[in-house]
Structure 1
């Protein structure tokens, strides 16, 4: 009845991780060069998001995992190639740092001059430039059949070869750059003199770019070497930009877009370094011809000294796109977007009609069907792909249409398989520091508290003297509110898809001394609600003020949990409750008691009261967070009956490159947690021991619960 390959292709394109190219979007096994244009669905009318990304400025494209950042990047690059007015390159920030870790030396002279931190910085920069060169060469080579069509083939090939050679010269000639004219004659220092360094670029009155220094001068064979010279050679951005401009001019283009992906996958210190040493210099020096486009997660961006009014910040999360005050309007627009995604993929990847896939008779209307799909995915294309994949396995491949029950069961499975064990997976890792673990434990307790309140209110609120509840035997409690001051503490739960932010409203009175009267409306994950027996939504006959009822504000109980788990303490021993955090932050995290009584500016810090013990079954196991992600992904594929699980396949499931996955699987195999078949590429499976450990530690949902 159904073409399995077509349907699999459809859902897999919704689930893609990392860079998206035409090779990952095959239609019946054939490459369609325009497929990304055909399947792209902008969240706003007239491709408004795409057009904004294509503006010639620095842009931060911000959204949670799976919201479609990589798809927008792929669509933007396709448009750039199609119009041939500019060039583009794609760089994965996480790959840059992973590759740089495998390099420990630049040259004998440089290694002796720089300390470890400086050497690491230069290695990262060089790796970035190497990836830049590699991506640009790929883009040029891909244009072989369309570029310089007015030239003969021989002339065209010679031109492209010359362009690629110039790219390589950026690196091979860098060390021989004559920098004597840029270094003041008095900059050579005695060995005892220290200067401050940081590779922060600055521009002098003559327009010459040079770095600030944060290094100790080192003596080498009785020669005094000024580290300025080394950094000017390696950070000679003037020369780099001139070469890039030359390449752009040679290609008869006006500029070059640099798309930077997986930026927020870097650790905080690495993000700061990436911004300081890569984003800032290009932003300040080359903004007329180099247009940076950085894909990032909310609240995981280090802006450095970038001027906020001179770059675009584009959020593609549902809450920011479809409005913050009218939940009804948001749901209508989000449902339309969800329907467009499904219809578009079906028409491009299958010959199936929408009514042949969905059993609309099991819903009140076809609109209700797509509203359920929206509830289950919350405008996150990757989540929609997971839901549809579950439906294919449970119903479609057995000759059944997708009905309401199928969607609910698919959402439950997605929650149990991908979300419910998130904190167990994180806390089982050995490479997470104690502060982060304490925060994770707090988040785990917080979601447990919110679920418990919702479960209790389902019965407790029924029949009370309230026009919105009195005629109900069970109250839908999937939506709740907290004072806006608690948004920051709930942000990790939202980022990890336990809850979703839907709107803001003015409360009927702040509680427990909270200064802000604005409240934020959230909903629980649709699959979570059905798993935990929480009724979703609101009664059809009730208006949207249902969500504004005072009983659905959980601020007091959230505040109580925070007070029990956190406190604030100053260096002189004064202790404050977490409810005083806003006051202390307004004082620059200085102790108000010390200021008042002693006139002293004494620093305060948050003190966590929660401890965590790893599951006893993992006492002898030293899995890292990345390794747990790999093991979990293999487990998921195995319970779905997938064979030949390769690093490339796993790359589609987790935020790691196939190169990184392969390296880690080698170590896991050496420790007898993974089996590798001796093929090229390797195929991976779990050993009995690792499967038992994953189950007993609660890291994965047991297979019998996912059927």
Structure 2
């Protein structure tokens, strides 16, 4: 179901432009991709390829033997820097290999079937498939230069982050990918006069420049374009899923080394369709004015006029989504399961899900277990209970599991700080439940709705992690009573029910349209206090600390220190409040986020889940879950057993329950009654 009328989202995806599809988990990005590819397969002059970037990144590993052999060479590039180069090379190659595989599959599966019986066209396409095979097996490898010639005097990092070589004797490592795609290394030694050269060897941008020089993307794409044009193809749409799941350094490498060059060099052949999370997008040298952006979260989809119109459109989408699903699978409307005005049920379901299809599915599952399965009809109270259960099982435990994340001290400390910030926000909302001190609130009978709050827009990025994990949702943008631009946020509907906070706003009077920007709901002071306590701007050269109100000015000068004029200022978390808690966690329990996500997904499930079901929750591929699940089974964290249908099922072990979940007080907010 398209979130907009007349399939507007789908039509935008089909335009010959690079497009970023932006939304939180569960907003339907992969579904939009599937629909778009389905339509593209009907077109004669367009072809598509789907790449799960996170899975490709996970497969781009470096063999430990490479690092060991390199470290044995005196004066060679440092082990950590070389690992990064090899990882980026392997990652880049994997992307291109998977694109070629997708192209071959699509030519086989779609074109040959369409032209069955037409031998001339058939032969042309068979020739095209053979050409792609050659591009994979021959030209592609020929155009990728191995990382070679690392000499004992080749790499010497200077203060300006450049390395110089002018050595007669050199020792190198030839890196190549074996059948498994994992790089291997061969040592070689040679002598001979070498010209003096300089290689950029510093930050991620400079690494990407090395990659550009390592292989000729333009030449590869010209050959691919020649193959495709021979069978009438004019457009190649490359769908990149899970873009925002990449580490930020890998994301920048991907954009600077692949997306931006191909977007600019492909003579309109290649257009990317990228699925991303809000606030986790790196464009690099991609011209933002020449791409389409589609936002799938409620405010960006429907919030162009006023709050009431936004809510009306969002409720309509909820109705259309439910009605289409129930009509298709049950041949009946959803309203037959409602015990009251169906429109009010749709309205409450929108509040509970914020128009997120995946959350809506969880709510329906909970309602099926508690009401429909027993012949009971669905009403507002049932939705509140279903939402509270979803919040307690899927949302609130985030902080408890994240303290086991294999991240730096600063990142883990930041998670604890955000938990404290959220607790402050929820506590303030609970305090306002009985507030009757304004002209608007004194007319409200019963508890004052305090589920929404506003902040000055400059503070919005502070809340991005809380929003990405569904504790809050951006609801609208408006002007407050003082004329400032503010962002309105809504607390999670289930959270509100859990902590007895009335959700929404009064609607009987015209002035209620401005209810969310009442001064009592200005939480900017709470965020300002959080910043003063948990963040500082410090120069990496002279150590001078700048006040937080200078951040925007510093950004205009690329964070150059205004005191020493040499160092770079950065924002850090100076708080050591949680140092003892973090250090007390056994380091052997720390896991990457994917593994933690698998444990969190399995924890409430009594009968276990298949890899595909876990992947659906985590926004990743089932292959990645299977790969990580095998490692976790070896550590005794999950069990992998096949069911009666010979399908592998994962379940959490008692050991994992005890180590990560039992007695974990951080799985709940600490909010006073």
**Length-normalised TM-score, structure 2:** 0.82
Question: How many residues are treated as equivalent by the alignment?
Answer: 612
Partner of 2:207: none
Is the counterpart of residue 89 in structure 1 residue 89 in structure 2?
A: no
Output aligned runs, 1:676-687, within 5 Å: 676-677=640-641, 681-687=647-653
Partner of 1:548: 517
Output aligned runs, 1:295-334, within 5 Å: 295-324=275-304, 326-334=306-314
Structure 2: how far apart are the matches of 1:610 and 1:77?
Answer: 50
Q: Is the 8 A contact 1:458 1:534 kept in 2?
A: yes
Partner of 1:564: 533
Shift of 1:304: 1.6
Aligned residue among 188, 191, 194 for 1:222: 191
Partner of 1:348: 328
Is the counterpart of residue 672 in structure 1 residue 636 in structure 2?
A: yes
Structure 1: how far apart are the matches of 2:45 and 2:458?
Answer: 47
Q: Secondary structure at the match of 1:386?
A: helix
Q: Is the 8 A contact 2:211 2:257 kept in 1?
A: no
Q: Secondary structure at the match of 1:298?
A: coil
**Relative to structure 1, is the Cα distance of residues 556 and 174 closer, same or farther in structure 2, using a 3 angstrom cutoff?**
same
1:459-480 CA-partner distances (Å, limit 9, x unpaired): 2x13x25243355342110111
1:125-182 CA-partner distances (Å, limit 9, x unpaired): 2211111111112212221663324514xx66655443222112113222785999xx
Structure 1: how far apart are the matches of 2:267 and 2:384?
Answer: 49
Q: Is the 8 A contact 1:617 1:693 kept in 2?
A: no
Structure 1: how far apart are the matches of 2:623 and 2:142?
Answer: 34
Shift of 1:341: 0.7
Shift of 1:630: 1.1
Q: Secondary structure at the match of 2:272?
A: strand
Aligned residue among 638, 652, 659 for 2:623: 659
Structure 2: how far apart are the matches of 1:668 and 1:562?
Answer: 38
Is the counterpart of residue 100 in structure 1 residue 80 in structure 2?
A: no
1:630-667 CA-partner distances (Å, limit 9, x unpaired): 112122332xxx35x33233222223332332232223
Aligned residue among 575, 591, 603 for 1:635: 603
Is the counterpart of residue 582 in structure 1 residue 582 in structure 2?
A: no
**Relative to structure 1, is the Cα distance of residues 190 and 278 closer, same or farther in structure 2, using a 3 angstrom cutoff?**
same
**Relative to structure 1, is the Cα distance of residues 105 and 260 closer, same or farther in structure 2, using a 3 angstrom cutoff?**
farther
Q: Is the 8 A contact 1:591 1:603 kept in 2?
A: yes
Is the counterpart of residue 254 in structure 1 residue 219 in structure 2?
A: no
Q: Which runs of 5+ in 2 are unaligned?
A: 172-188, 200-209, 669-673
Is the counterpart of residue 439 in structure 1 residue 414 in structure 2?
A: yes
Q: Secondary structure at the match of 2:449?
A: coil
Deviates more, 1:467-476 or 1:391-400: 467-476
Q: Is the 8 A contact 1:504 1:521 kept in 2?
A: yes
1:97-146 CA-partner distances (Å, limit 9, x unpaired): 1111166799xxx9999954433332222211111111112212221663
Structure 1: how far apart are the matches of 2:543 and 2:214?
Answer: 48
Aligned residue among 514, 518, 534 for 2:501: 534
CA RMSD, Structure 1 to Structure 2 (Å) = 3.4
Q: Is the 8 A contact 2:401 2:660 kept in 1?
A: no
**Relative to structure 1, is the Cα distance of residues 255 and 534 closer, same or farther in structure 2, using a 3 angstrom cutoff?**
same
Q: Which runs of 5+ in 1 are unaligned?
A: 1-40, 181-187, 197-212, 511-516, 703-707
**Relative to structure 1, is the Cα distance of residues 526 and 432 closer, same or farther in structure 2, using a 3 angstrom cutoff?**
same
1:511-535 CA-partner distances (Å, limit 9, x unpaired): xxxxxx2111111111111011100
Q: Is the 8 A contact 2:441 2:448 kept in 1?
A: no
**Relative to structure 1, is the Cα distance of residues 292 and 449 closer, same or farther in structure 2, using a 3 angstrom cutoff?**
same
Is the counterpart of residue 416 in structure 1 residue 392 in structure 2?
A: yes
Structure 2: how far apart are the matches of 1:337 and 1:530?
Answer: 24
Structure 2: how far apart are the matches of 1:699 and 1:382?
Answer: 27
Aligned residue among 451, 456, 465 for 1:492: 465
**Relative to structure 1, is the Cα distance of residues 216 and 342 closer, same or farther in structure 2, using a 3 angstrom cutoff?**
farther
Q: Is the 8 A contact 2:367 2:382 kept in 1?
A: yes
**Length-normalised TM-score, structure 1:** 0.79
Partner of 1:132: 99
Q: Is the 8 A contact 1:417 1:700 kept in 2?
A: no
Q: Is the 8 A contact 1:617 1:696 kept in 2?
A: no
Aligned residue among 106, 128, 131 for 1:166: 131
